[in-house]
């Protein structure tokens, strides 16, 4: 049966509750909590510990609830036994041994012994893991000498096992057992044997002779076939519930359905909250899981306040320090999502304090690595790329120490560290990590994976930054040659605010080469039946493609592509729809293209549309540029009045960000003063002549004043 990350915590909580008044056992449970590893399952089972006592009691009494609580341990135990079974078989085959005899000594209550006596030649199935020995004398010690009658009988099992018909794993666990001098053979739950004889020797010990059975025998085969048909090759929680229902234990079946619903997060928030109201039937760990699931659902729905409330309840309820740290970490992630980065760092620090307060062995290392990655992302969002890189490297160190080299989870961390080195302008380090990422990606992903293509594209732009144009173009071609890769992915490395940087970067390449790549990849993207690209991403594609057409001198194609970008942005309901600066930039590009074609009318219209967009975003600096462009066009058309209006609007825009004496305003003062002078020299209306004369003097004197003051400031 599958099990999750909470199952060990659930088991430990139940065991602590059971042994709450026993300090000695509680210390043993603490040791298990801190030191247990799956490869030590046999050692823990064979020692005289709470694991052995509770699990065996559960098996003997058929207490399904306790067996379920121990499910993760049972799976580990069986898994380790299967591995050792293969080694044991090889040793026997090399020694040409096909049969072994093992012994087990124990006390047995009289009525159980009587049942066996009444079932000679019948079958017996082991309802727990059974420890046996190849040393008869060792087994006899455990059998006793009959002195505990009448409550208990001394029993010695002699079990003859034919390894050629065995279907379940057994193994010599001497090297893995807690007791290494007993030549111990461990038999799994469900081992089936036939009772051949039961004899009383010397009136002290009952000898019970068992032999292994061929499970292809018709009766056994039918039984096993029925069970396997009901359970399937891979037991699951749903099939476990089905068996409970077959047994008629409806109450338990319903309870485990609730647990399954929680684990699978299939329930709505309301249903999960309803489960929490029935706290009498839920233990602490189950309540903790519920709070986690509810918080997660609130987080995904965007209700951050309710998500935080439930994570805080989780923190208050749990006794597990790792889980507390997890709760604080999740709250940090929520504040990160809310863009409240300093608050996010506060909660990450709380998580860090808890984890570093634990013994090294007790720290959940993967949780710690995720914490450092969360901190790294937050510093990245604060543009503190140095701190972001430091924390990402700490995460990588932890992951390297606790995951096998080449583990696929390391791949995304390599890419992230590569990205951060790029932000820090450490381009050689960036390439080292991108290369590591490619090597690892090719181990687990097909060579035509889009993820591999994205790394190639990232590397290409780093090489472009380093002015290695040939290598950059080679990598871009490798990226685009991947069938499902599209210009959408290429564009995904640029954000709208970086568009001018992107275009400057493209200028480093041969325009024809880059244009060919974009046309090819854009066409793949357009024709693809895949759900990508989103319209917003396609709009960015069109902007870059339009800029490439512009640089190539194909103005008509550039205009068509820019206009398509605007249409796609209008159709999109996501982030680009309200990106007024980006829309304005496209209108500005289109207006400049119409200027190149001497189509002043369309140029004026598009400059005005750009101004409308910049007005929405209150980008006064770029708004002024567009007014100046319109003024220049009107001036060239000899429409002096409109030229003046646009120059004055440009001045008004600049005065929103500069003082009236700022040196950046000199050119505008001169232009406006010059136009007033031009009007002055052509005007025939006396009243207006005085006004134009005053305005000419006002603007030209202002320009002279600023120039004089700025010049004086440079005199040593």
Domain of 189, CATH number, reads 3.90.176.10
- Residue 282 counted as domain residue: yes
Q: Do residues 291 and 393 share a domain?
A: no
Q: 110 and 120 share a domain?
A: yes
Q: Is the dihedral of CA 193, 194, 199, 201 positive or negative?
A: negative
Tens of pLDDT, residues 190-243? 788 889 999 987 778 899 999 988 755 544 444 444 344 444 444 555 555 544
Q: How far apart are CA 211 and CA 214, in angstroms?
A: 10
Q: What is the pLDDT of residues 308-331, one digit of tens each?
A: 998 999 899 888 898 899 999 999
**Do residues 354 and 385 both lie within one domain?**
yes
* Separation of alpha carbons 407 and 413, rounded Å: 11
Provide the pLDDT for residue 587: 94
510 in any annotated domain: no
Domain co-membership, 394 together with 423? no
Using the 3D structure, point to which of 420, 448, 469 is the last residue of a domain.
469
pLDDT at 73: 84
Instruction: Indicate which CATH number applies to the domain containing 684.
Output: 1.25.40
pLDDT average, residue stretch 616-627:
91
In a domain, 422, yes or no: yes
Give the range of the structural domain holding residue 441, as residue numbers without chain letter.
404-469
Per 3-state DSSP, the chain is made up of helix, strand and coil in percentages (nearest 5) of 70, 5, 25
Rounded Cα gap, residues 512 and 500, in angstroms = 19
What are 93-102's pLDDT values in tens digits?
888 888 889 9
Q: Which residues of 628-650 are buried (b: 16+ CB within 10 A; e: fewer)?
A: bbbbbbbbeeebbeebbebbbbb
Residues 377 and 289 both lie in one domain: no
Residue 132: inside a domain: yes
Instruction: Indicate if 287 and 331 belong to the same structural domain.
Output: no
Greatest Cα-to-Cα distance within the chain, rounded to the nearest angstrom: 144
SS3 label, residue 202? coil
* Residues 4 and 79 reside in one and the same domain: yes
pLDDT above 60: residue 87: yes
Q: How many domains does the chain have?
A: 6
Task: Please tell me what DSSP assigns to residue 133.
Answer: E
* 481: number of Cβ within 10 Å: 14
- 91 and 102 both lie in a single domain: no
172 and 147 share a domain?
yes
- 243 belongs to a structural domain: no
CB atoms within 10 A of CB 715: 5
Q: Is the same domain home to 280 and 351?
A: no
**Statement to judge: residues 103 and 211 lie in one domain:** yes
Same domain, 337 and 412: no
| Residues 585, 609: Cα–Cα separation, whole Å | 10
pLDDT of 352 over the 70 cut: yes
Tokens encoding 680: 């002055």
Sign of the Cα pseudo-torsion (612, 617, 621, 622, in order): negative
- Looking at residue 218, what is its pLDDT? 44
Q: Please report which helix (H) or strand (E) contains residue 198, including its range.
A: strand 192-201
Specify if 315 maps to a domain. no
Q: Which of 41, 76, 96 is the last residue of a domain?
A: 96
Residue 410 lies in a domain: yes
Q: Are strands 192-201 and 123-125 parallel, antiparallel or unpaired?
A: antiparallel
Per-residue pLDDT at 368 exceeds 80: yes
Residue 486 maps to a domain: no
Q: Which of 41, 62, 96 finishes a domain?
A: 96
R_g of the chain computed on alpha carbons: 39
Considering only 84-98, 175-189, 587-601, 625-639, which range has the smallest mean pLDDT? 175-189
The total number of residues written for the chain in this structure: 716
């Amino acid at each position: 049966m599958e099990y999750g990350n909470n199952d060990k915590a659930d088991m430990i909580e139940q065991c602590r509750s059971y042994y709450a008044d026993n300090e000695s056992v509680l210390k043993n449970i603490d040791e298990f909590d801190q030191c247990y590893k799956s490869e030590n399952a046999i050692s823990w089972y064979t020692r005289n510990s709470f694991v052995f006592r509770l699990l065996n009691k559960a098996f003997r009494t058929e207490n399904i609830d306790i067996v379920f609580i121990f499910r993760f341990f049972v799976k580990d135990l069986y898994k380790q036994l299967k591995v050792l079974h293969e080694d044991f078989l090889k040793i026997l085959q090399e020694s040409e041994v096909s049969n072994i005899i093992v012994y087990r000594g124990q006390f047995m209550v009289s009525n159980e012994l009587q049942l066996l006596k009444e079932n000679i030649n019948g079958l017996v199935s082991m309802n727990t893991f059974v420890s046996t020995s190849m040393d008869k004398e060792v087994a006899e010690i455990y059998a006793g000498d009959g002195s505990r009658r009448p409550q208990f009988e001394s029993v010695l099992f002699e079990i003859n096992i034919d390894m050629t018909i065995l279907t379940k794993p057994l193994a010599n666990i001497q090297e893995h057992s807690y007791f290494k001098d007993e030549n111990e053979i461990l038999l799994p739950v469900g081992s089936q044997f036939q009772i051949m004889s039961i004899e009383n020797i010397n009136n002290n010990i009952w000898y019970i002779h068992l032999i292994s059975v061929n499970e292809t025998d018709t009766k056994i085969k039918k039984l096993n076939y029925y069970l396997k048909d009901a359970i399937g090759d891979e037991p699951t929680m749903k099939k476990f519930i089905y068996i409970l229902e077959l047994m008629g234990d409806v109450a338990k079946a319903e309870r485990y359905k609730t647990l399954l619903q929680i684990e699978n997060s299939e329930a709505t928030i309301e249903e999960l909250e309803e489960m929490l109201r029935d706290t009498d039937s839920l233990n602490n760990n189950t309540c903790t899981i519920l709070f986690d699931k509810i918080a997660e659902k609130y987080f995904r729905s965007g209700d951050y306040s309710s998500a935080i409330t439930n994570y805080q309840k989780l923190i208050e309820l749990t006794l597990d320090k790792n889980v507390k740290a997890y709760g604080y970490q999740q709250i940090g992630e929520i504040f990160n999502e809310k863009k409240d980065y300093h608050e996010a760092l506060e909660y990450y620090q709380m998580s860090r304090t808890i984890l570093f307060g634990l013994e090294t062995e007790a720290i959940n290392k993967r949780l710690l690595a995720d914490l450092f990655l969360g901190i790294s992302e937050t510093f990245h969002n604060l543009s503190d790329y140095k701190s972001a890189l430091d924390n990402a490297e700490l995460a990588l160190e932890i992951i390297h120490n606790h995951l096998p080299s080449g583990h696929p989870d390391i791949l995304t961390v390599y890419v992230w560290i590569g990205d951060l080195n790029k932000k820090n302008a450490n381009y050689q380090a960036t390439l080292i990590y991108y290369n590591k990422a490619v090597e690892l990606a090719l181990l687990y992903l097909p060579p035509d994976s889009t993820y591999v293509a994205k790394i190639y594209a990232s590397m290409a732009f780093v090489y472009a930054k380093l002015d290695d144009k040939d290598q950059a173009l080679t990598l871009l071609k490798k990226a685009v040659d991947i069938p499902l890769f599209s210009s959408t992915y290429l564009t995904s490395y640029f954000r709208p605010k970086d568009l001018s940087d992107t275009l400057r970067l493209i200028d480093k390449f041969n325009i024809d080469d880059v244009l060919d790549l974009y046309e090819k990849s854009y066409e793949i993207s357009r024709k693809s039946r895949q759900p990508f690209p989103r319209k917003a991403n396609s709009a960015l594609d069109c902007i870059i493609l339009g800029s490439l057409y512009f640089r190539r001198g194909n103005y008509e194609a550039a205009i068509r592509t820019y206009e398509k970008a605007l249409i796609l942005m209008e159709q999109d309901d996501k982030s680009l729809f309200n990106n007024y600066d980006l829309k304005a930039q496209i209108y500005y590009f289109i207006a400049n293209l119409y200027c190149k074609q001497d189509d002043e009318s369309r140029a004026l219209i598009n400059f005005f549309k750009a101004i409308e967009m910049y007005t929405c975003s209150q980008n006064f600096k770029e708004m002024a540029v567009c007014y100046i462009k319109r003024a220049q066009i009107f001036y060239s058309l000899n429409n002096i009045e409109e030229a003046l209006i646009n120059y004055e609007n440009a001045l008004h825009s600049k005065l929103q960000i500069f003082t009236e004496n700022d040196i950046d305003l000199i050119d505008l003062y001169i232009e406006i003063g010059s136009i007033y002078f031009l009007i002055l020299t052509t005007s025939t209306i006396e009243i207006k002549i005085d006004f134009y004369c005053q305005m000419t003097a006002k603007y030209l004197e202002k320009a002279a004043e600023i120039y004089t003051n700025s010049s004086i400031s440079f005199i040593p």
